[in-house]
Amino acid sequence: MTQIADAPYIREAEMYGIDYPKTELEISSERRMIPIASQIGEARNFVQMAAKRLDDIGESVWDDEIRTLMDEAESLADKLDSLKYSIWHL
């Protein structure tokens, strides 16, 4: 049975301490954290604008499809919010 302490990231933390060696991608992403979070925020705003446009269409024979797209847009906006939150709270 695998123990929690056997997880690779636990072993690495034990070997290297809290300041484990970061990859180039991690270093680059941390340097660009503010612009990345800002772009994600902008993307969320565009998704919300699209959902509002769909809501403004009114009744039509495509109501089911439009409602599905609106639900997916709301879900995407929530996921973008979560990602932005996780970036700010690294």
- Residue 89's pLDDT is what? 80
Domain assignment of residue 52, yes or no: yes
Confidence of residue 27 (pLDDT cuts 50, 70, 90): confident
User: pLDDT tens across 37-67, in order?
Assistant: 999 999 999 999 999 999 999 899 999 999 9
Tell me which residue of 69, 90, 71, 79 sits closest to 26, measured CA to CA: 90
Q: Distance (Å, rounded) from C-alpha 20 to C-alpha 33?
A: 19
Q: Which residues form the domain of 69?
A: 22-88
Residue whose pair of structure tokens reads 């439009």 in the numeric block: 66
Domain assignment of residue 12, yes or no: no
Domain assignment of residue 61, yes or no: yes
Cut 0.75: pTM above it: no
Q: Distance (Å, rounded) from C-alpha 74 to C-alpha 82?
A: 12
Give the chain's domain count.
Answer: 1
Domain assignment of residue 34, yes or no: yes
Average pLDDT, the chain: 86
